[in-house]
Amino acid sequence: MARYILVRLAGLIPVLLVLSMITFFLMHEVPGGPWKEGQRPFSEEQLAALKARYGLDKPVWQQYLTWISGVVRLDFGMSFKHPDESVLGLIGRTWPVTAHLGLMTLVVAFAAGLPLGIIAAMKQNSWLDYLVTLLSTLGFVMPHFVWGILFILIFALVLKWVPTGGWDTPQQWILPVLAYSLAPMATIARYTRASVIEVIRADYVRTARAKGLSEGAVMRRHILRNALIPLLTVFGPLIPDLITGSIFIEAIFRVPGLGKFWVTSTFDRDYPMIIGLTMLWAVLIAFTYLITDVLYVFVDPRIRMK
Amino acid sequence: MPTDLDRSDLLVAPAQAEEFREHTDELHHILREPRSLGRDAVRRFAKNKLAIAGMVIVLLLTIVAVFADDWFIALPSGRTPQPLLARTPYNKGFFGPVGAFPGSQFWMGTDLNGRDLYSRIVFGARISLSIGLLSQLVALVIGIPLGAIAGWRGGRADFLVMRLVDVMSAIPTLLFAFLIMARLGAGFWNVMLAIGLTSWISVCRLTRAQFLSLREKEFIEAGRMIGASSWRIFRAHLLPNALAPIIISLTFGIPIAIFAEASLSFLGVGINPPMPSWGQMLGRDGITNMTYYWHLALFPALMIALTMLGFTLMGDGLRDALDPKMINAK
């Protein structure tokens, strides 16, 4: 097991290297620079001095080497747009808000999605099932910025139940979490339903019923345990996706999180920030897949590591 | 036992043949028509009410997109297209009062430049649908050859393609599309290209998986045994058999691409005004003025929702109809 994890971790390094190279060269390939379209126009000399200070006057491959040697020492450089903050510092300051929103969303999505999926599967082809299917299709297909806008229109402007945005009081958390959780909730409900339906017909479930187990025990010990295993691969990637935040949700509800940097860093040509975020994302995704694969072995004794 | 093989008993007398024919005609009324796979799929699709609802939505949107103005008549003759379903040309400014609420004169109100919102919504359908279709075409053109080479040739080609896919899927899609848009600049064709370049990966994976499983099948082996060329096996046996799942994935790719266009335009790097796009309407005027000019956010949001719903319902139905094994599998 330890060997397997080590091999996987080692395999990660080339992927991350190639990824960082592609992103690095691609972002430098984009025309425009960090200071050209600024509010205060710089003189030629000032621009040259700034470029020299951040090493932007050197060839791109040399800049890449400088960057990668910094990364080894966990130094991702300073943000161009926020010159007094390092990339790590900026991420460390804004990510907690985003992660908070993401985790609450995750909890809501699971708390609602799993029961909905299970109920729909148990009452397959009843009106309840159709309702869940329709709701999950709606949640699945509608972009969350559309939900966010519709929710604000309905709950904040017409009904005036909650504020339209901000992130100071728990009342302000309700709408963004709701709008953000619908898509993952729908995904969870859809896949849970399909998986439970498959397991319900298994022989061991019939056996469990035949030997007189209560319906609740059959559900807990036989159906759910087996139905949830394949769902690990579906649910795993939801986590990095949600905790890195959404530019749309944060823009619509004015949440001061990490999400906006996914967009502003590209607009501002804030190179250290762009590549820092990309690496954060890639590492999160890679670790999620690794953890999912390892968890598989623990929850399903039939699977053995090769 | 006759020494000579006497086949005369196999011949049917004319009278008997006539009787036989009558008999089969009769049988035809009892037996159902022979059904092909395609016709079976149509039957299954037609029985699926949600799928039909999705198809109706998609058809209506297509009609709106095509007949927004009469470009299909006007363009060949070189004159400026005249609005048909829309009420004004999409780029015409200052058509009415600024920010008028929906009413009898302006069905969906006017935007903050005084343009008729209804007309812009109608033209937005054309933008959304064409980007959805065209970007998937780009994804097909890149994804199918790469996936086919990887799955069919295997070995080093497979390794290279799959590593490329690995790296591509590790880049956050939105960020990648952003960088492409920043490189190319905003605009219709660039949005289409950026979305196509980010969505070929799933097509490639699917094609590869199909080819991998198909190339071990007996009928491929049989084809080789009778001396068919690689190209012929590819064209006549592999591609047609791999096509159904690819078409299904395409119908799901279209709403995803429409979503991506709306997202990019929402953030201001997609379709540039005055060309209308639902996402752009939401992102520019929609969310900033939502508390007062609610119609600027409501109508584009509803249109995006309707389009996504229509395509997804139709795609779900198509998948269930074309692949009966997959019913309830997702």
In this predicted model, what pLDDT tens digit does every residue of B11-33 receive, in sequence order?
A: 555 566 666 666 666 655 555 56
Checking if the pLDDT of A286 tops 90, the result is no
Distance from CA of A150 to the nearest CA of B (A): 7
- What is the Cα–Cα distance from B250 to B140, expressed in whole angstroms? 8
Residue in B with minimal Cα distance to A279: B171
B266 touches chain A (CB under 8 A): yes
What values do phi and psi take at B156, rounded to 5? -70, -35
* Burial tier of B184 (Cβ tally within 10 Å: 0-12, 13-18, 19+): middle
Checking if the pLDDT of B94 tops 60, the result is no
| Predicted local confidence at residue B98, as pLDDT | 77
Checking if the pLDDT of B56 tops 90, the result is yes
State whether B174 and A278 contact (CB < 8 Å): no
Residue B8 confidence class, pLDDT cut points 50, 70, 90: very low
Structure tokens at A188: 């969870």
Residue B84 confidence class, pLDDT cut points 50, 70, 90: confident
Which residues of chain B neighbour A230 with C-beta distances below 8 Å? none
State whether A157 and B172 contact (CB < 8 Å): no
Which residues of chain A neighbour B305 with C-beta distances below 8 Å? 141-142, 146, 150
Distance from CA of A120 to the nearest CA of B (A): 12
Checking if the pLDDT of B161 tops 50, the result is yes
Give Cα B141 to chain centroid, integer Å.
14
Three-state SS at A78: strand
Mean pLDDT for all residues in chain B: 80
Checking if the pLDDT of B330 tops 50, the result is no
Residues facing A78 on adjacent strands: A86
Block residue for tokens 């969870």: A188
Checking if the pLDDT of B258 tops 70, the result is yes
| Predicted local confidence at residue B15, as pLDDT | 61
Q: How far is CA B277 from CA B207, B270, B312, in A?
A: 32, 9, 20
**In terms of Cα–Cα distance, which of A15, A65, A8 is closest to A292?**
A8
B254 touches chain A (CB under 8 A): no
| Mean pLDDT of the region A223-239 | 82
- What is the Cα–Cα distance from A256 to A249, expressed in whole angstroms? 11
Residue A107 confidence class, pLDDT cut points 50, 70, 90: very high
| Predicted local confidence at residue B59, as pLDDT | 95
The residue length of chain A stands at: 306
Which residues of chain A neighbour B308 with C-beta distances below 8 Å? 141-143
Render pLDDT for A115-161 as a digit per residue (tens, 0 to 9): 999 888 888 778 888 888 888 888 877 788 888 888 888 888 888 88
Render pLDDT for A75-91 as a digit per residue (tens, 0 to 9): 888 887 777 788 888 88
Give percent of chain B with pLDDT exceeding 90. 13
- What is the Cα–Cα distance from A51 to B328, expressed in whole angstroms? 58
For residues A226-261, one letter each, b for 16 or more C-beta atoms within 10 angstroms of the residue's C-beta and e for the rest, the string is: bbbbebeebbbebbbbbbbbbbbbbbbbebebbbbb
Of B163, B166, B263, the CB nearest to A143: B263
Which residues of chain B neighbour A278 with C-beta distances below 8 Å? 171-172, 175
Residue B142 confidence class, pLDDT cut points 50, 70, 90: very high
Checking if the pLDDT of B4 tops 70, the result is no
State whether A143 and B259 contact (CB < 8 Å): yes
| Predicted local confidence at residue A227, as pLDDT | 84
Of B50, B266, B309, the CB nearest to A145: B266
Q: How far is CA A96 from CA A73, A84, A163, A245, in A?
A: 23, 20, 22, 10
Please indicate whether residue A276 or residue A297 has the higher confidence score (pLDDT). A276
- What is the Cα–Cα distance from B181 to B129, expressed in whole angstroms? 19
**In terms of Cα–Cα distance, which of B74, B51, B291, B34 is closest to A149?**
B291
Give Cα A196 to chain centroid, integer Å.
25
Give percent of chain B with pLDDT exceeding 70. 85
Angle at A268 between CA A263 and CA A274, to 5 degrees: 60
Distance from CA of B150 to the nearest CA of A (A): 19
Of A15, A152, A262, the CB nearest to B170: A15
B262 touches chain A (CB under 8 A): yes
Checking if the pLDDT of A41 tops 80, the result is no
Checking if the pLDDT of B106 tops 50, the result is yes
Structure tokens at B59: 């058809």
DSSP 8-state code for residue B110: B
**In terms of Cα–Cα distance, which of A178, A174, A188, A175 is closest to A132?**
A188
Render pLDDT for A183-220 as a digit per residue (tens, 0 to 9): 899 989 988 888 888 888 888 888 988 998 888 888 88
Render pLDDT for A250-260 as a digit per residue (tens, 0 to 9): 888 888 888 88
